[in-house]
Amino acid sequence: MVSRVIPVEPFDLVIFGGTGDLARRKILPALFRRFRAGQIRSDTRIIGAARREMDTAAWRNFVAEAISAHARDAEGDREEATAREGFVRMLDYVVLDASGETGWAQLAGLVGDGRVRAFYFSVAPRLFGALAERLHQHGMADGDSRIVVEKPFGRDLASAQELNRTLARHFHEGQIYRIDHYLGKETVQNLMAIRFGNMLFEPLWNSQYVDHIQITVAETVGVDGRADYYDRAGAMRDMMQNHLMQLLCLIAMEPPARFEPDPVRDEKLKVIRALDPVEPDNLVRGQYAAGDGMRGYRDHVGNPDSTTESFVALKAHISNWRWAGTPFYLRTGKRLRDRASEIAVVFKDTPHSIFDDDAGRHRNILTIRLQPNEGIELGVTIKEPGPGGMRLVDVPLDMTFAEALGPEEADFPDAYERLIMDVIRGNQTLFMRGDEVEAAWAWTDPAIATWDGGDGMAPAPIPYPSGSSGPRESLMLMRRDGREWREIRA
C-alpha cells in the first residue's frame, strides 16, 4: 500500500497568535511535516502575527525550536536540518494588534492576490470578531480567503449564534472552517470508511442488532496550563459539546448520499436534532480530588469553591427509526486511569444459544480506538482450541494500523496536518457548519441548566480519586441498566 502525497498549490497562511501555545505545539509542527513530506511548496508563505515585538529572524528561531520540540519524529539529522532551513525561509512575521491598527497595512501588503489565503484565528475567541472586521476593512476578506476558527465556539447557544452572526458579516459559510481536531483523526475518518465502504456492518448498524454504544475520551492530565479557561468551561462545554458529540454523530448518522461537505454535515445535523433532552438521572458530574501526591482540581485551578466538573458521563437517546431503544453512553474526564479514547459498538446476544451454559456466552464488540494505537478491533466468538469440549472464547480481529499497514504506512498525518491541508484544498467535510454547532449547544444548554441556573450556585460535582475511572455513580449509570463500561486502558 503506497500513501500518496498530492502537493497543493502555493498559498498564503496567516497565523494570528503565531507566538501562542497552539501555534507552537500543533500548527507550526504540522505545517513543517507537510512541507517535509513534499505537500507544501517552497513558494508558499506562512506569516505569524501577534503583538509581541520581534522581527522575522526571531520568529524563524522561535518556529525552528517549536519544530525540534514538537514535530513528531523530529530526528535532528542532516536531512531534517535541511528541511527546516527550507521551511523557515517561507516564514514572515508581523507585529499586529487584532483589535488596534498596528500591523494591518503591513499584513495587507504581504498577502498576495491570485492564490488561496487562509487566516488561522489561533487567539482568544473574544478577538474573533475584531479579526474578521479588520480583515474586511483591509481588503483581505474576498472570495479567495478562508478563516479557520478554533474552539471554543461560544459557551452556549446564544454566544455561538452571536459569533456566527459576527463572522457572517464578512465571510460566507463556505469560507469558515470551524475546527474540531477529533474529526481530523485517521480512525475517525476510517469509521466512515468502515461503515460506508463495506457491506458487512451497515445492515447490523441499528437498534435491532446493537445493544448499546459507549464512547470514552479519558485523559490522565489535569487542567495544566489552562486553569482559567477550564474552570469557566468544564468537561461538558470543553469536550462533550464538541468532540464527543461529533463522534456520536459519525457513529449514528445515516449514510450521506455523497462524501461531500454538505451531505455529510446534513446527516450529522439530523442526529443532533433527533437527540432527546438528557434527563438529570442520566447525567453524572465529577471533579478529581487530591491523592497519591497529586493536587486536586480545586487546588489546581486555585479556586477552593469551584463547582466546575472535570468529568461528565451521560446516557443519550436518539429518537429515530434506526436508534430508538439503543442507548448511547458517553463519558469524558481528566486525571483518569489511562489516556484512552474509544468508541465501542456492543452488539446484542444471539437470539438463542445452541451451546451449553458451560460454553459461556459472548457478544461481538466493534471497538474503534482513537488513542493510543489508533485502530479498529472486532471481537469474534470462536471455539476455544483444544479437546475440552465446546467452550466459547472471544478473539479480536485486530486492525491496529501500525500492525496492519506497517510502521511507515501507519505514520499518517496528525489531525492538524490533515485539517490544515483540507483548508487549503477548500474541503469542508471535516469542519463543523454553523448550524451544527448551534444544534449541539441547543442540546447541551438544557443539560447544563439542570445544575447551573446561572446564579453561580451550581451543586458541587462528585469527587473522584485521581487515577480512577471517575465517580462510582458513573459506573452505576450503566450497571442499573445491566451493562458495564469497558475498562479505561491504554
Task: Note the residues at the interface with ligand NAP (CB under 6 A).
Answer: 16-23, 50-52, 96-99, 122-125, 127, 150-152
| Beta carbon nearer to ligand NAP, 432 or 478 | 432
Inter-residue contact 288 to 466 (CB < 8 Å) = yes
Q: Checking phi first, is residue 225 left (phi over 0); if not, alpha (psi -120 to 50) or beta? A: left
Q: How far is the CB of 169 from ligand NAP (least distance, A)?
A: 19
Smallest separation, CB 124 to ligand NAP (Å): 5
Residue 179 or 376: the one with the smaller Cβ distance to ligand NAP is 179
In the complex, least distance from residue 29 CB atom to ligand NAP, rounded to whole angstroms: 13
C-beta closer to ligand NAP: residue 19 or 444: 19
Residue 232 or residue 383: which is nearer to ligand NAP going by CB? 232
C-alpha cell at 101: 491598527
Dist CA 5 CA 263 (whole Å): 26
User: Does the active-site annotation cover 243?
Assistant: yes
Cα 110 to Cα 163, 175, 204, distances in angstroms: 28, 20, 55
Task: Specify burial of residue 167 (Cβ count, 10 A radius: 0-12, 13-18, 19+).
Answer: buried
Burial class (CB in 10 A: 0-12, 13-18, 19+), 337: middle
- Selected catalytic residue, list 170, 181, 212, 243: 243
- φ, ψ at 383 (rounded to 5°): -80, 135
Supply the minimum distance, in Å, between the C-beta of residue 27 and ligand NAP: 9
Nearer to ligand NAP, 51 or 337 (CB): 51
**Nearest residue to 30 (alpha-carbon basis) of 169, 179, 232:** 179
By beta carbon distance, the residue nearest ligand NAP is 20
- The CA distance from 3 to 411, in Å, is 10
Closest to ligand NAP by CB, 26 vs 84, is 26
Numbers of helices and strands, H then E, in the chain: 17, 15
Three-point CA angle 480, 485, 487, nearest 5°? 145
Identify whether the C-beta of residue 84 lies closer than 8 Å to the C-beta of residue 64. Answer: yes
Minimum gap (Å) between residue 17 Cβ and ligand NAP: 3
The C-alpha cell at 414 is 496528525
Catalytic residue ranges: 243
